Amino acid sequence: MDITNLTFLFYGYSAAWIIITAFVFLLVSRGRRIDRELARLKSLVADKDNHPR
Amino acid sequence: MREKAIYLLAILAALVMIPNLKTVFMDLPDEAMQGAIYRIIFIHVPAAINAQIFFTVSLITSILFLVKKNFVWDSISVSCIEVGTMLVLVNLVTGSIWGRNQWGIWWAWDLRMTSQLMCFLLYLGYLLVRPAIAEPTQRATLSAFVAIFAYADIPLVLMAIRLPNVRTQHPGPVLETGTMAKEFHAPFGLGVLAVFLICTALILIRQHQETAQREIDSLRRELHSI
């Protein structure tokens, strides 16, 4: 079996999985950031509604 | 409901992908000319096929947004483009590695590869420009026009290896010409299905984030007006 072929096959699949995993991590971190921001804004709106100027 | 669908898609993807990877790496024989490296086709081509499916969905939903002005269409469009762009990157990188092994070069400026790179850059431009527009309706409208414009590259990518007088470094369509062995067809189809299921789950997650982002925009406006 040609080792060079196998090495490049390994590089190819590794690259594909690294890209997909990095994308999933970005998606998860953005989701967490959005959830935090949404909770913060909702509490701010509730505060302003309860204590109007 | 959405969460259940995401979990279901992920489980289905795993059920399709794991036995398929076993078939690809342990059961299928090496290809006569290329040896083991040909197995890259089971990720390289499914990534490209699914990217084109998702870009087509984004074209349809962009047109629907322009007609109906419903933000659901915009959120589906941006989600499909984000996942599709990631798939085109997978396609370009795996193709480059395959090319280095088989042709001795990382890249050739032929019609197929250049049009695919253009496709990646066009949709990347869409994703980079979109957050710069603050007003939601304006952002969605402009995004829809850019998505329709970017899609013009897809027929070029598809036709690049089918045009009669164009010579490309990239091989011709192996499925249509029958140069792919019959025993490779099932794992190839299952590879396309597995990538489709995973990416549909990712699109559902991304679409939910887009909806939440619009809620954030509206809460910010509400806070400014109080």
The contacts of residue B204 (CB under 8 Å, 6+ apart) are B2, B5, B6, B9, B79
Task: Give the span between the Cα atoms of B48 and A6, in whole angstroms.
Answer: 23
Closest CA of chain A from B95, distance in Å: 8
User: Band of the pLDDT at A2, cuts 50, 70, 90?
Assistant: low
The amino acid occupying position B79 is S
Where helices occur in B33-170 by DSSP H, the ranges are 41-68, 71-102, 111-129, 136-151, 153-159
Task: Give the span between the Cα atoms of A2 and B97, in whole angstroms.
Answer: 16
Q: For position B184, what pLDDT does the model report?
A: 87
The amino acid occupying position B171 is P
Q: For position B190, what pLDDT does the model report?
A: 95
CB B170 within 8 A of CB B45: no
Q: For position B88, what pLDDT does the model report?
A: 97
Q: Length of chain B in residues, anyone?
A: 226
Q: Which of B26, B219, B221 is the best mutation test for A, with the most CBs of A within 10 A?
A: B219
Task: Give the span between the Cα atoms of B136 and A2, in whole angstroms.
Answer: 55
* CA B121 to the chain's CA centroid: 13
Backbone angles phi, psi at B103, to 5 degrees: -105, -15
Query: pLDDT, tens digit, for every residue of A9-43?
Result: 999 999 999 999 999 999 999 999 999 999 999 99
Cα dist from B8 to A24, B3, B79, B203, B224, whole Å: 17, 9, 19, 14, 41
Kindly state the tokens that stand for B65: 């947004």
Q: Among residues 68-97 of chain B, which lie with CB inside 8 Å of chain A? A: 83, 86, 89-90, 93-94, 97
CB B52 within 8 A of CB B158: yes
Chain B residues with beta carbon closer than 8 angstroms to that of A8: 37, 40, 97-98, 100-101
- B39: nearest CB among A9, A35, A37: A9
Are A41 and B86 a contacting pair at CB < 8 A? no
Domain boundaries, chain B: 2-225
ipTM of the complex: 0.89
Backbone angles phi, psi at B45, to 5 degrees: -75, -45
Predicted model pTM:
0.92
Three-state secondary structure call for residue B35: strand
Closest chain B residue to the Cα of A28, Cα to Cα: B205
CB B208 within 8 A of CB B2: yes
Task: Give the span between the Cα atoms of B43 and A24, in whole angstroms.
Answer: 17
pLDDT tens for chain B, residues 1 to 226: 888 999 999 999 999 999 999 999 998 888 888 888 989 999 999 999 999 999 999 999 999 999 999 999 999 999 999 999 999 999 999 999 999 988 899 998 988 899 999 999 999 999 999 999 888 899 999 999 999 999 999 999 988 888 777 777 777 777 767 677 888 889 999 999 999 999 999 999 999 999 999 999 889 888 887 6
Kindly state the tokens that stand for B3: 């969460």
Are B209 and A27 a contacting pair at CB < 8 A? yes
Q: For position A52, what pLDDT does the model report?
A: 64
Are B202 and A23 a contacting pair at CB < 8 A? yes
Task: Give the span between the Cα atoms of B211 and B11, in whole angstroms.
Answer: 25
Q: For position B207, what pLDDT does the model report?
A: 94
Are B101 and A38 a contacting pair at CB < 8 A? no
Task: Give the span between the Cα atoms of B160 and B172, in whole angstroms.
Answer: 9
Task: Give the span between the Cα atoms of B13 and B10, in whole angstroms.
Answer: 5
Closest chain A residue to the Cα of B46, Cα to Cα: A16
Closest CA to B43 of B24, B71, B16: B24
